[in-house]
Structure 1
Amino acid sequence: MYCSRLEKRINRRKFLLNLCLNFLSPTNFFVLKLSENWDKLVVKQQKSLLKKHMIKNNFFEK
């Protein structure tokens, strides 16, 4: 299955978080929510960077 670098990074982070959550059960819901929001933020940043790059290199019609 093909995964982008970003997806791999997110999956690795989730895996590491799950490892941590096994030890920190009381805070796991909070940490999980935090990680989901972080992933959304990272994806949003990546998209905006891509858009800037495309605009800079005239990929879009003016």
Structure 2
Amino acid sequence: MFTHAKSLGGIESLIDRRARYAGSSAPGNLLRLSIGCEHVDDLWADLRTALDSVN
């Protein structure tokens, strides 16, 4: 459900790792979520699947 991108003012949910940009002082583990208009249950399921895959 989440697309890896900077927020461009759209209606889709996005995830962005701030430290990947040159000159960023953000910690490497900082993620920014921009929540769009998808159903909340779908978003939670997507996040659970992603987190379970790294544990």
Same fold at TM > 0.5: no
Q: Say which structure is richer in strand.
A: 2
* TM range, smaller chain: 0.3 to 0.5
TM-score by length of 1: 0.32
Q: Say which structure is richer in helix.
A: 1
Bigger Rg over Cα: 1
